[in-house]
Copies of this chain bind each other. A is one copy, B any other.
C-alpha cells in the first residue's frame, strides 16, 4: 500500500471537493447512483468471485448472505445514495457569529473534516454508503474493506470513481485500499498528516486495534453492552414487550440489549412474564441467584463475565437489584456507554436515570433498538459513536464536519 501516494492524492482532491458547491456534489451523487444500476452486472460478477471464495473458505451461510449482492440490493444502494443527495448540505452553515467590541465580525462556519478514513468489515454496501455520506459533506474518503468483499468493493469503487470523474470532480474523492492485509490497516492508522479522522466499523477486536494503534484521531464506534432496567413502578407488559423487542428483533446488532436489571419489588411479578415472552424466541437467560429463585433452575447462573459480555445472540443476562441506584451502579460498571433504557411510571426515577446514566442514548419506556441515524432523523448514518469526543451516538453527515472561524476587520490589531 502506497500511503504517501494515496494521501497526496486525497489532499489534492480535498482542496477541490472541500469548496465544491451543493449542486456539483449532488450531480456527482446522482451520477454515482445511476452508474451503480447501469453496472450492476459487472458488480454482481465481481461479487460472485467473493462468494465463491467465501464458500471455499467455509464461510457461514449467514455471512454469505450479508456478502451477497443482487440487482435489488444494488438498486437499494443507489436509492441510498439518492437519499444522501436529498439531505441538506451542512457545509457553509453559519453556526454562530458575533461582533466584538473592537468591531471585528466573527463567524463560525461549518466546513468538511477533510479526509476521512474508514476501516470496515464484511458488507460491500458500506463502500457506497460511506462514499456518498463523505462526498455530500465535502470529505474525501479512503476506504478499506475486508478481504471477504474485496472484489465487490473494488468493482463498486471503480464504478463510483468513474461516475464522480464524469461530473468534473476528481476520481480520488473516493479511494479504496486494494491491499486487505493486516499491514494495510496498520498503515492507515499511521496516516496522520493525510487523514483527519479514522472510523473503524466492525467488531470489538478491530475497534480496539484502531484505538490502541492509531496516531490519526479516531471515532470509536459500535460496541454495545446495552441494558434495560425495570423499575418497581414499571408497566409489566410494556417492560416485557420492550425487552422482547430489544433482545430479539435483531440480536446481532450493537443496539440490542444484553442484560436486564429488575427491581426486587417487582421481580416476582415481572420476571415470569418476561421469561414467557422471551421463550417465544428460545432466549437463554443467565440469571443472578435471586432471578433463579423466582424463575427456577432452567435459568443458568450468571457469572461476572456474563454481565460484561456483548452476546450478540439469543442470550440475556438478568439481575435483580435492590434499587434504582443499584441499577445505575451496575450500568456504570458494565456498560459500554451505548444505549440503556428504564421502564418506569415514576417521573423522578426517569429523571434520575436519564441524568445519572452516562451513555450515548438513554431511553425512558422505549426500545434501545432505536439508536440509529435513520430512526433519529439524521438521514443515513456513518456509524454510532461510543466515545464522548466530537460525536456521540448515531453520526450523520453533520458529524462528518468541523468548523472554522472567519474574522473580518478593517485594520484591527491587538
Contact = CB atoms under 8 A, between A and B. Distances in A.
Given A361-B407, A392-B402, A408-B350, A413 B376 contact: no
A364 B390 CA distance: 28
Given A197-B388, A388-B114, A413-B249, A406 B362 contact: yes
This chain: how many copies in the complex?
2
A18 interface: yes
A322 interface: no
A405 B393 contact: yes
Given A367-B413, A412-B367, A413-B367, A217 B389 contact: yes
Given A18-B358, A197-B389, 16 more contacts: A113-B388, A114-B388, A196-B388, A217-B217, A217-B387, A245-B414, A246-B413, A360-B404, A362-B406, A363-B408, A364-B406, A365-B412, A366-B411, A366-B413, A375-B414, A392-B404
12 contacts: A98-B377, A100-B375, A104-B366, A111-B388, A197-B388, A212-B215, A217-B389, A241-B411, A242-B411, A360-B405, A365-B412, A392-B405
Contacts of A367: 412-414
A83 interface: no
A397 to B, nearest CB: 15
A365 B411 contact: yes
A402 B388 contact: yes
Assign chain A's interface to a size class. 35 or more
Contacts of A24: none
Interface string A380-414: 00000001111011000000001111111111111
Nearest to A412: B366
